[in-house]
Amino acid sequence: MGHKGHTLHLTMIPDHTITYSPTHCICCNTSLHQEPVKGYRIRQVYDLPPIQIEVTEHKVEQKECPHCHSIQESQFPSTVSRSVQYGSNIKRLIPYLTHYQCISLKRTKEFFQDCFGHSISEGTLVTHTQVFASQLQPFVQEAKEKIIQSAVVHFDETDMRVENKTQWLHIASTPEETLQHIHQKRGKEAMDAGGILPSFSGIAMHDGWKSYDAYTDCRHVLCNAHLLRDLQGIIDNTGQKWAQQMKKFLTQALTLKKQYKGSLPKGEQQNLFTVYQAILKEQPVFSAELKKKGKQTSAQNLWNRFVKYADRILAFLEHPDIPFDNNQAEWDIRMTKVKQKVSGTFRSKKGAESFCQIRSFMSTMKKQKQSVLQAIGQVIVTGTVPWNRTT
């Protein structure tokens, strides 16, 4: 099944009305010009008005004081600081196109030319993007505080090309907030720079990257979606029985949790833990050649992981709010990869940092059920963030 459709409906207050009157009877050719109207049939067309950029001139008057003869003048609005500049509607459209719709700078230029008949340079697009990012510092701090106070936070990291070098984008997200930052490293140094994990004491969901274990004030849980993919790889390559059983067990355990609406009785949790332990008694088959060399197979490594981290893997059974997977972080990081495919490498570290701040804001506003375009405009005009205080 596809997505639910939306049908246009007649509106009671159209912007324009065009009336068509019959001039003569098509049966006998009698004139109808003087006849009263007996009724109407209505059709409506939804369309855009012609799009064009308007120029508003701000003029401050100068007057001479009749007493001391000094020249006095009024003041320009604080938002009008240059002799010629762009207004807030254009300023908000630039990051919306380049960072939310992930359109390249070249195509954004074409959009302005095609839609508005106006030429805008790539340099101007970049400048306004960076200015907007600088206005987001209060948002970044508030989002960081909200995430630190959350019960469960999803963490992930992915590589990005910056100045033709590999750097790492780190993400911390909840269903209500998203925060990204870029760093040249993937491990603890980069995580410390994010400013969340060092102060976080809730539940940290991640894929098991070893650097996360340096943070001992929070509880760690593992992404079972990653483990299911790893199990499928073992099944495809070796067909080992324990991997087949474990994959089936995890999917059935998730189904059972959903049946109980997230709250599994203690007895059910204990039964599942017993089944889990029984499956792990079916040890993986060693490769004789690798065993002789003192190495372990991928199956052995994965089996060891299930043995060592049982509490992290089965944590989702304990509480409705503990997730089964790390999909939240993966969803929130996806558009970053889209932008990378569209634009290629970031030309500067500053550009990458601006991107992370702006994408964090846009993702968060979407979660806050706000119009992203309107939210950008509010920050530009008032410097405030439209948080949904009910989330």
Q: Give the C-alpha separation, 94 to 115, whole Å.
A: 14
Confidence at residue 347, expressed as pLDDT on a 0 to 100 scale: 87
Tell how far CA 338 is from the center of its chain.
11
Which residue, 191, 337, 202, is CA-closest to 181?
191
Q: Give the C-alpha separation, 153 to 66, whole Å.
A: 68
Amino acid at 300: Q
Residues 6 or more apart whose CB falls under 8 angstroms from that of 244 comprise 235
Residue 341 banded pLDDT, cuts 50, 70, 90: confident
DSSP 8-state code for residue 24? B
**DSSP strand pairing (203-206 vs 152-162):** parallel
Q: Give the C-alpha separation, 338 to 225, whole Å.
A: 21
Q: Give the C-alpha separation, 184 to 161, whole Å.
A: 10
Judged against a pLDDT cut of 70, whether residue 286 lies above it is answered with no
Global pTM value: 0.89
Burial class (CB in 10 A: 0-12, 13-18, 19+), 386: middle
Q: 349-391 pLDDT, tens per residue?
A: 999 999 999 999 999 999 999 999 999 999 999 999 999 876 5
Contact call for residues 155 and 205 (beta carbons, < 8 A)? yes
Alpha carbon dihedral 82, 85, 90, 92, in 10-degree steps, equals: -30
Judged against a pLDDT cut of 90, whether residue 340 lies above it is answered with no
Q: SS3 string of 182-196?
A: EECCCCHHHHHHHCC
Residue 339 banded pLDDT, cuts 50, 70, 90: confident
Q: 270-282 pLDDT, tens per residue?
A: 999 999 999 998 7
Residues 6 or more apart whose CB falls under 8 angstroms from that of 391 comprise 176, 367, 368, 369
Could you give the percent of the chain with pLDDT greater than 90? 87
Residues 6 or more apart whose CB falls under 8 angstroms from that of 335 comprise 102, 359, 363
Burial class (CB in 10 A: 0-12, 13-18, 19+), 378: middle
Q: 146-192 pLDDT, tens per residue?
A: 999 999 999 999 999 999 999 999 999 999 999 999 999 999 999 99
Residue 336 banded pLDDT, cuts 50, 70, 90: confident
Q: Give the C-alpha separation, 95 to 108, whole Å.
A: 10
Taken as a whole, the chain contains a residue count of 391
Confidence at residue 293, expressed as pLDDT on a 0 to 100 scale: 54
Residue holding tokens 């992915």? 158
Could you give the percent of the chain with pLDDT greater than 70? 95
Q: 1-33 pLDDT, tens per residue?
A: 566 777 899 999 999 999 999 999 999 999 999
Residue 95 banded pLDDT, cuts 50, 70, 90: very high
Q: What average pLDDT does range 238-259 have in this prediction?
A: 96
